[in-house]
């Protein structure tokens, strides 16, 4: 059983100061990224990290509620340097993993500061275009294998900063191709709204929209995987997503949205 203490004695010498948080003693700044991961920085990486941190600080300093787009120039410069640093690192390094998150954060901040909105709405085939802002949106329930539907993708940029070369595309995160989904596209408008109408047919081999993990019985104390590719994610992603690619101040920026229908919600007591 080992030793069993009979009593505890309080020492006269004070111990170390209690920690105030889980990050005490850790440098979680951008400049301390390599020290945090324990990896050796390649030549030029330290200067790039310092440049990224400088652009983030400049963006925070330039931020004004009346003019959020004023930070876009600093953010695009930081995004460009983040990608330059990623090119110096092996893709499987811990530092590269954290920098890819920073890359996504930069792109999200850029599109948010510019007020860019991207929607990807699934709807029944042949749905007429809305003629009024007050018109109720078309609704659609779940689709089944072999069913055809439309995806209305729309991107709008209200900012004075141009988003050049806007392209809207649709893909399946699970790896099925556009041919599998029988994707067809029709560009409806390019300015001021970028609108593309996609037509898709649900493949016969597409997985069902359900959790990727399961238990055969509540008595089982562990889960099994239907689709191991989504392990460590909270849920399976949507079957289709729309990706918008563009250039902002000469820097490529990408924005993604899951394809979702508008579901009919009846008032309480009705079905």
Q: What is the pLDDT of residues 51-85, one digit of tens each?
A: 999 999 999 999 998 899 999 999 999 999 999 99
Token code pair at residue 63: 């931020």
What is the widest separation between alpha-carbon atoms in the chain?
Answer: 82
Nearest-10 Cα torsion for 233, 234, 237, 243: -70
Residue 216: exposure state from Cβ atoms within 10 A (0-12, 13-18, ≥19): exposed
Residues 6 or more apart in contact with residue 154 via CB below 8 angstroms: 117, 118, 119, 193, 194, 195, 196
Q: pTM to 2 decimals?
A: 0.84
Residue-wise over 99-120: b if at least 16 C-beta within 10 A, else e? Answer: beebbeebbebbbebbebebeb
Residues lower than pLDDT 70 in the chain: 1-2, 11-12, 14-15, 268-271
**CATH number given to 117-261:** 2.60.40
The angle that helices 72-86 and 94-114 make with each other, rounded to 10 degrees, is 160
Third-level CATH fold of 30-114: Methane Monooxygenase Hydroxylase; Chain G, domain 1 (1.20.58)
pLDDT of residue 129: 82
Q: Write out the E strands in 45-146.
A: 117-123
pLDDT of residue 17: 76
Nearest-10 Cα torsion for 43, 46, 49, 55: -110
Residues 205, 211, 217, CA angle at the centre, nearest 5°?
110
Q: Are 238 and 172 in contact (CB under 8 A)?
A: no
Query: Domain coordinates of the chain in residue numbers?
Result: 30-114, 117-261
d(CA 16, CA 100): 37
């Amino acid at each position: 059983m080992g030793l069993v203490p009979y009593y505890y004695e309080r020492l006269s010498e004070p111990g170390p100061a209690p920690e105030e948080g889980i990050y005490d003693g850790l440098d979680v700044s951008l400049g301390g990224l390599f020290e945090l991961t324990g990896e050796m920085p390649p030549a030029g990486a330290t200067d790039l990290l310092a440049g990224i941190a400088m652009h983030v600080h400049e963006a925070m300093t330039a931020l004004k509620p009346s003019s959020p787009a004023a930070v876009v120039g600093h953010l695009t410069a930081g995004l460009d340097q983040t990608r330059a640093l990623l090119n110096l690192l092996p893709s499987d390094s811990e530092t590269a993993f954290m920098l890819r998150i920073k890359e996504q954060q930069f792109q999200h901040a850029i599109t948010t500061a510019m007020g860019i909105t991207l929607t990807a709405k699934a709807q029944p085939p042949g749905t007429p275009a809305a003629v009024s802002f007050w018109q109720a949106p078309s609704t659609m329930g779940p689709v089944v294998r072999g069913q055809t539907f439309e995806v209305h993708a729309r991107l709008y940029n209200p900012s004075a900063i141009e988003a050049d070369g806007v392209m809207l595309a649709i893909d399946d995160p699970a790896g099925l191709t556009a041919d599998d989904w029988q994707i067809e596209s029709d560009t409806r408008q390019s300015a001021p709204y970028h609108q593309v109408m996609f037509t898709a047919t649900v493949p016969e081999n597409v997985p069902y929209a359900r959790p990727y993990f399961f238990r055969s019985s509540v008595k089982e104390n562990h889960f099994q995987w239907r689709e191991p590719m989504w392990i460590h994610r909270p849920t399976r992603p949507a079957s289709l997503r729309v990706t918008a690619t563009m250039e902002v101040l000469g820097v490529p920026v990408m924005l993604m949205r899951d394809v979702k229908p508008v579901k009919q919600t009846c008032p309480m007591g009705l079905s």
